[in-house]
Amino acid sequence: MQVYPMYIDGRPLTLSARREVINPATGEAFAAVSEAGAAEVDLAVAAARRAFPAWRDLADSAREQAVIRLAEVLEAAMPELMELVTLETGKPLHGLNQVGAGMEVGGAIAWTRATAALSLPVEVVQDNAEARIEIHRRPLGVVASITPWNWPLMIAIWHIMPALRAGNTVLIKPSELTPVATARFVELANAVLPPGVLNLVTGGAEVGAAIASHAGIDKIVFTGSTNTGRRIMASAAGNLKRLTLELGGNDAAIVLPDVDPQTIAPQLFAAAFHNNGQTCACLKRLYVHRSQYDTLCAALADLARSAVVGDGRAAGTELGPLQNPAQLAVVEALAADARAQGGVVLAGGHRLARPGYFYAPTIVSGVSNGCSLVDEEQFGPILPVIVYDDIDEAIRLANDSPNGLGGSVWSDDPARAAEIAARLECGSAWVNTHGAIQPDAPFGGVKQSGIGVEFGVHGLAEYTSIQTLKIMKKP
């Protein structure tokens, strides 16, 4: 079994304490990483702090070229990284609508190239005979990244690349469930970057807690659950760390009665079930007008029954397993509760009888707000479809959530749909699509879905502080 090392100060480090990495399609271990603790976090932070001044003082163009080189590293290793992503997450190599490991690695390359091209030029507020006032963006120092298990490599890239581009050094802790693709990338990156610029520490809760409270870390960027985000925020208060938190989502979509249900059913199904529903910005609550409700429910159920579920390495697989048994148990409990509250399972609703953590794609009708399947983020292959009678009711139900990551409106009248989308309490609102993110448009949540944004110049700015420079022309 291959053991993937940590990287601290440009050198590999392997400890005797190990954690096995499980392939969720089989339930068996295929790799291992070191089980680190607070001592290794201290070493990584010290290395990043030593590397920071030189990295900060590089010409902006030199950092741009370094990030471009990292895109080339990713591209050269794409087949290997795809295989590792599939082994540790279970997602297909290609998947439903081509959303799989290929998209994850390809997206990581595209995001890296787009981030390399970003810049934060000096802003001039005043320049006259009296004074010149400039606004500069300065790197923060050491940035710590804590990533989740659902898109491990892509989200690592979302965190690492803007931090490096802005002139920070980085310590990354991948999810203990899916550390392998990230570990391999960090190994490759350390052949390109100066020692200490990008460090990797693997482990569980002890590593995360040490990062959150560490006085030598200037910013944490975290993607994961709201509860964990709250704990990080509390621990980060000790030295007032900057935070970017992309937390839980329970995205709602509203279908207006002017649109053809059969036409949009495949798009809605893909938005809800890609990556087996294990995406923060998946469609997770679907509100449908009563006039179309039965037709759209039937169309979605047909799609669920026909989806090809299996090992992600097999040709033609559209949906893989849940990534871990704990998440499988969450989905099973939500389905059982929905049945107990009168929900009707139109397709799926059961674990598949095979090794691994497979659950049949599931459509549930007859539920509404107040049912746990609707109120809680399921993060799995199960979609509740909720009936509404007027648009104000649909908007109220969609906004009746502590989360506010994304939302969408579907209609043959995009202008009217945009007016309705503007009333949704979420950080991203889409019309006739859902979860469509891109590297030049900011993405982040409101309410309990997070703090700050990622992507584009707005996301890059979050890795900097403002320094205002006032130059008097005469003493």
Considering the domain boundaries, does residue 451 fall inside one? no
104 is catalytic: no
Q: Which residue segment(s) compose the domain that 303 sits in?
A: 251-431
Share of the chain above pLDDT 90, in %: 99
∠234-174-92 over CA atoms, to 5°?
130
CA distance 165 to 46: 20
CA distance 184 to 364: 40
In this structure, the answer to whether residues 226 and 260 fall within a common structural domain is no
For residue 201, the domain's CATH number is 3.40.605.10
Considering the domain boundaries, does residue 440 fall inside one? no
280 is catalytic: yes
In this structure, the answer to whether residues 159 and 239 fall within a common structural domain is yes
Over the stretch 365-379, which tens digit does the pLDDT of each residue have?
999 999 999 999 999
Cβ–Cβ under 8 Å, residues 432 and 276: no
Considering the domain boundaries, does residue 441 fall inside one? no
Mean pLDDT for 217-237 is: 97
In this structure, the answer to whether residues 35 and 63 fall within a common structural domain is yes
SS (H, E, C) the chain: CEEECEEECCEEECCCCEEEEEECCCCEEEEEEECCCHHHHHHHHHHHHHHHHHHHHCCHHHHHHHHHHHHHHHHHCHHHHHHHHHHHHCCCCCCHHHCCHHHHHHHHHHHHHHHHCCCCCCEEEEECCCEEEEEEEEECCEEEEECCCCCHHHHHHHHHHHHHHCCCEEEEECCCCCCHHHHHHHHHHCCCCCCCCEEECCCCHHHHHHHHHCCCCCEEEEECCHHHHHHHHHHHHHHCCEEEEECCCCEEEEECCCCCHHHHHHHHHHHHHHHHHCCCCCEEEEEEEHHHHHHHHHHHHHHHHHCCECCCCCCCCCECCCCCHHHHHHHHHHHHHHHHCCCEEEECCCECCCCCCCECCEEEECCCCCCHHHHCCCCCCEEEEEEECCHHHHHHHHHCCCCCCEEEEECCCHHHHHHHHCCCCCCEEEECCCCCCCCCCCECCCHHHEECCECHHHHHHCCEEEEEEEEECCC
CA torsion 156-178-248-226 (nearest 10°) is -100
In this structure, the answer to whether residues 272 and 241 fall within a common structural domain is no
Is 0.85 topped by the overall pTM? yes
In this structure, the answer to whether residues 139 and 287 fall within a common structural domain is no
| Confidence (pLDDT) at 453 | 98
In this structure, the answer to whether residues 29 and 125 fall within a common structural domain is yes
CA distance 185 to 177: 16
Considering the domain boundaries, does residue 445 fall inside one? no
In this structure, the answer to whether residues 340 and 395 fall within a common structural domain is yes
In this structure, the answer to whether residues 240 and 258 fall within a common structural domain is no
Closest alpha carbon to 130 in 472, 417, 359, 375: 472
Mean pLDDT for 30-36 is: 98
Mean pLDDT for 17-44 is: 98
Mean pLDDT for 102-117 is: 98
* Confidence tier at 26 by pLDDT (50, 70, 90): very high
Catalytic residue among 40, 88, 246, 462: 246
Question: Starting at the edge strand that comes first in sequence, how are the strands of the sheet with 406-410 ordered?
Answer: 344-347, 362-365, 382-388, 283-289, 251-255, 406-410, 428-431
Over the stretch 377-424, which tens digit does the pLDDT of each residue have?
999 999 999 999 999 999 999 999 999 999 999 999 999 999 999 999
Domain boundary at 190, 220, 247, which? 247
Residue with token string 């100060």: 9
CA distance 47 to 35: 19
Q: What is the mean pLDDT of the chain?
A: 98
Mean pLDDT for 232-239 is: 96
| Confidence (pLDDT) at 54 | 98
Considering the domain boundaries, does residue 421 fall inside one? yes
Considering the domain boundaries, does residue 458 fall inside one? no
For residue 387, the domain's CATH number is 3.40.309.10
* Confidence tier at 233 by pLDDT (50, 70, 90): very high
In this structure, the answer to whether residues 167 and 259 fall within a common structural domain is no
Considering the domain boundaries, does residue 466 fall inside one? no
Q: How many domains does the chain have?
A: 2
Considering the domain boundaries, does residue 35 fall inside one? yes
CA torsion 99-64-222-446 (nearest 10°) is -80
* Confidence tier at 185 by pLDDT (50, 70, 90): very high
Over the stretch 297-345, which tens digit does the pLDDT of each residue have?
999 999 999 999 999 999 999 999 999 999 999 999 999 999 999 999 9
Domain boundary at 216, 247, 278, which? 247
Catalytic residue among 35, 40, 88, 280: 280
Domain boundary at 184, 217, 247, which? 247
